[in-house]
Amino acid sequence: MRYSIPLSYNPINVPRLAEVLNRYEGVHHNQIITDFESAMCSVTGSPFAVALNSGTAAIHLALKILGVGADDYVIAPTFTYVATINPILYLGARPVLVDSEATTWNMDPDAVEEAILKLKNEGKRPKVMVLVHTYGMPCQLDRLLAIARREGLRVLEDAAESLGSTYRGQMVGTFGDVGIYSFNNNKVVTTYGGGILITKSPEWASKVRFLANQAREDLPYYEHRAMGYNYAMGSLNAAAGMSQLIDLQENVAKRRSIFNLYKGLLGMESHDEIPGAYSNRWFSTFLFPNEATRNRVTSLLEANTIETRPLWRPMHDQPVFHGVHSITNGHANHLFKHGICLPSGQSLTPTQVEMVAALIKA
C-alpha cells in the first residue's frame, strides 16, 4: 500500500546526488567511501570510521572485535529493534535482555545491576554491554557507563537510530568503546542501505576493515588466514550519504519540531530527555492510555493512508529469542501495548502533522 503520509521517507535529492557524483568523475570510486568516512569522523568527533553495508553488519563486527565469542554473555536492552540482538547470536554468544526505565525508555540501570548480580550468582560474568538510544533518545549514559567501568565490561553503542543526538554536547555513539550508526532508508541521514562503525582505536578500525573485506591479507595474491565477511559499503551508497550528511543538523531540527508540534497538539505522554540530553527525535512516539484506543487510532490512520507502527515488541517476547536470559519489569511490555510511532520524516509539512493530530483527536 502506498501511504499518502509515510512514517519516515527520505526522497532522493537527485541534483544533490548528481553534484556529488560529478565531483568524483575520473577519481577512483573508493575515494567516495574514504571521504564519507572522513565526513562522519568530522560530524561525530570520532577519529576512525569504517563504512559498512548495514548497521547490523557494524554490530556484528563490533561485537567480534570486542572479543565476543561462543557462550559469552552480552547485556542488551529488550526494548529495541531485532538487529541489536541477532548479531549476538551470529557469534554463538548469549544475550541477557534487560528492561527499560520510564523516562527515556532505554535500558534501566537498576535492572542491569540485577542482571549482573543474577549472572554472578550463577558464577558467570558478562563481557559486553550494548547501549541503545531508542528512537534517538539518549539513554542514562552516566549510570550505565559507570556500571560497565566498575564491572570491566566493554561497551558497544548501538546508535543506529540516533545520529545527531547528543549528551552534554557530545555525539551519542562516541561514548562506548565502539559505536555504530545505520543509514537505512528511514534514518535521519540515509545511504539507502548502509551503516558505519566508529572507534577511537586505530587497531580496531583496521581489523574491522580487514574483516569486512573477506579478511584478505595485504599480499599480491589472494590469501585468507581468517574467516571474513563481505560487509563493505558500496561507493554509490557513500555518495548518497555525502549528499545528505550536510543536512544532518537541519534534519534533526525538523524532526524535533515535528515532535514538538504533535506534543503541543496532542498533549500525549512520550519519552523524555534526561538533563544534558538532546534527542534527534528520529521517530515521534507517544503512549495511549490503553491498547484498545491505540488500536482504534492505528486503524483510523491506516484507513486514511497514514503509516504508523506500534512501538517495539520486546525481544524477550519474540519467539526467536525464546528461553534467553532476561530481566523484566513490565515497562517494555507496557510500551509495546500502548505506544505508537507517528509519521516523523523530515519531509513532512506542519499541515500534514496537524492533519494526523486532528484525526487522532477525533
Ligand X SMILES: Cc1ncc(COP(=O)(O)O)c(C=O)c1O
Residues annotated as catalytic are 187
Spatial CA neighbour of 331 closest among 101, 135, 140, 131 = 101
Q: What's the rounded Cα separation, in Å, for the pair 68 and 195?
A: 20
In the bound state with ligand X, the residue whose beta carbon lies nearer, of 81 and 210, is 81
- Site for ligand X (CB under 6 A): which residue of 46, 80, 166, 344? 80
* Residues touching ligand X, count (CB under 6 A): 14
Please state, in angstroms and rounded to a whole number, the distance separating the CA atoms of residues 108 and 11.
Answer: 36
Q: Which residue in 161, 235, 258, 262 binds ligand X (CB under 6 A)? A: 161
Q: Are 61 and 52 in contact (CB under 8 A)?
A: yes
State which residue, 181 or 288, has the beta carbon closest to ligand X. 181
Among 88, 116, 132, 301, binds ligand X (CB under 6 A): 132
Q: Which of residues 330-359 bind ligand X (CB under 6 A)?
A: none
Residue 78 touches ligand X, criterion: CB under 6 A:
no
Q: Of 84, 191, 244, 285, which lies in the binding site for ligand X, with binding defined by CB under 6 A? A: 84
Site string for ligand X, 140-159 (x = CB under 6 A): ------------------x-
Cα separation of the two ends of the chain: 24
Of the candidates 195, 230, 196, the residue with the CA atom closest to the CA atom of residue 213:
230
By C-beta, is 181 or 259 nearer to ligand X?
Answer: 181
How are beta strands 178-182 and 195-199 bridged, if at all? antiparallel
Q: By CB under 6 A, is residue 184 in contact with ligand X?
A: yes
CB contact set of 117 (below 8 Å; sequence gap of 6+):
none
Least CB distance to ligand X at residue 218 (A): 28
Site for ligand X in 303-332 (CB under 6 A): none
The β-bridge partners of 183 are none
Is 56 or 165 the residue whose CB approaches ligand X more closely?
Answer: 56
Count how many Cα atoms sit within 13 Å of the Cα of residue 93 in the half-sphere of its side chain: 27
Residue from 10, 46, 56, 140 in contact with ligand X (CB under 6 A): 56
Q: Which stretch binds ligand X (CB under 6 A): 50-58, 115-123, 259-267, 286-294?
A: 50-58
Q: In what order do the strands lie in the sheet with 277-278?
A: 170-171, 166-167, 277-278
Distance CA 169, CA 178 (A): 18
- The footprint of ligand X (CB under 6 A) covers 54-56, 80-81, 83-84, 132, 158, 160-161, 182, 184, 195
